[in-house]
Structure formats: structure tokens, C-alpha cells
Amino acid sequence: MQVLSQDAVAEAARLVALVRRIAASADRAAFAEVFILLAPRVKAFLIRLGCDGATAEELTQDVMLAIWHRAGQFDPARAAPTTWVFTIARNLRIDRLRRERWVEPDPDDPHFVVAPVDSAETDIEIAERQSRLHQAIADLPEEQAQLIHMAYFEDKAHIGIAAERNLPLGTVKSRLRLAVSRLKKALRRTLPCERATSASG
């Protein structure tokens, strides 16, 4: 097993702190730092998704502005900072390029079924969990990694991937299932459930 990258953990913790400063006090210096850290990667990500340079540049600007305006909605217990930024970029891309709105469940919906509440995690635990996920992605067997890669970077639905690769749909689905179970395992919290139980009992 590889050691978790300390850089990744430190960077995630730094980003959490910066976004919190933007949310708490509209801190422009914190925003400039987030921009310098993330804008070049957001742009690279959008180009890999098939955007031309000019569109990627423009969308990157929109993503950064959205980070500024929505910093208060960022919940580090729910998502790592780069995951939050990924969802902003995904939604803006749909909004701008397809002129559609991202469709998502609404936690205020009376039909919304709430999961059992987790106890709070520290920023370091959150960053480490993200780091485990990175490792799990890096460790995926080639055939599963390829599939994940096509889904994210070639803008293809899984049925299209099966057709293009000339694979039976069932094979694509079972590879995905394997990939998902590995990734979920990485995301599962190594948290002190026992501690929580004994404290309440």
C-alpha cells in the first residue's frame, strides 16, 4: 500500500480554509489564492472534456466566479474542495453548452429521505478520505480505469461506451460495479463508530 500523499492532504485542507474565508468575510486575497491554485486545472479539465481553448477559458472564469458567490454553500463534510469545484464546472457546462439546468434532488423536498446522520469529521480526516479516493483511482485495474476515464473525459454515457468499445453492455456494467465498490470502500470513513456507540450507550 502506498503512503497517502501529504501534499494532497495539505492542499485540500488549505483550500477548505480559503473557501471558508471567502464565505465568512468575502476575503479577496483568499479568492485570488484559490484562483491561482485551481483555475489552470479547471481549464485543463474542461479542455480534456472537449471544450476549445476559448470556451474553456470563459467557463473557467464562470466557475471561479461561482466559487466566489457560492462559497457559503460549500460543505467540507459533504465533498472535498476539488469535488465541489468539479460539480460547479459540470453544472455550468450543462447550463452554458446545453442551455439546460442541472437536475438534482432537493434536500428541502418533503419527499427527501434523509440518511442517518454521521458525526462530524475533522478537516484532516476529510482530506485523508479524499486522498484515499485518489489512491483507489490510481490503483484501479486497467480495464476499469479506462472505463472511468472515458466516462469523464470523452463525455460518453455508459451505453455509448459499450457500443464504441464493442463490449457487451453487461461487461461494461459489471466492470463499473467493481470500480464503484473499490471507490466506495475508499470513501468509507475509518471513523470511530465504536467510540460513538459506546459514548451514547
Which 87-106 positions form the footprint of another protein (CB under 8 A)?
A: 87, 89-91, 93-96, 99-106
C-alpha of 126 from chain center:
13
- Which is it for the CA torsion 157, 76, 129, 66, positive or negative? positive
What whole-number distance in Å separates Cα of residue 63 and Cα of residue 37?
Answer: 13
> Of 18 and 64, which has the nearer Cβ to another protein?
64
Q: Smallest distance from the beta carbon of 36 to another protein, in angstroms?
A: 7
Q: Which three cell numbers stand for residue 87?
A: 460539480
> Of 20 and 79, which has the nearer Cβ to another protein?
79
> Of 99 and 199, which has the nearer Cβ to another protein?
99
Within 105-124, the residues that bind another protein by CB under 8 A are: 105-106, 109, 111-115
Q: Smallest distance from the beta carbon of 116 to another protein, in angstroms?
A: 8
What whole-number distance in Å separates Cα of residue 33 and Cα of residue 21?
Answer: 11
Q: Smallest distance from the beta carbon of 94 to another protein, in angstroms?
A: 5
CB within 8 Å of 43: residues ≥ 6 apart: 56, 57, 60
Q: Smallest distance from the beta carbon of 72 to another protein, in angstroms?
A: 13
Within 23-62, the residues that bind another protein by CB under 8 A are: 28, 31-32, 35-36, 39-45, 47-48, 56-57, 60-61
SS (H, E, C) 103-164: CCCCCCCCCCCCCCCCCCCCHHHHHHHHHHHHHHHHCCCHHHHHHHHHHHHCCCCHHHHHHH
Q: Which region among 120-128, 129-137, 193-201 touches another protein (by CB under 8 A)?
A: 129-137
What whole-number distance in Å separates Cα of residue 192 and Cα of residue 201?
Answer: 14
Within 155-194, the residues that bind another protein by CB under 8 A are: 155-159, 172-173, 176-177, 180, 183-184, 187
Q: Smallest distance from the beta carbon of 197 to another protein, in angstroms?
A: 20
Q: Smallest distance from the beta carbon of 201 to another protein, in angstroms?
A: 24
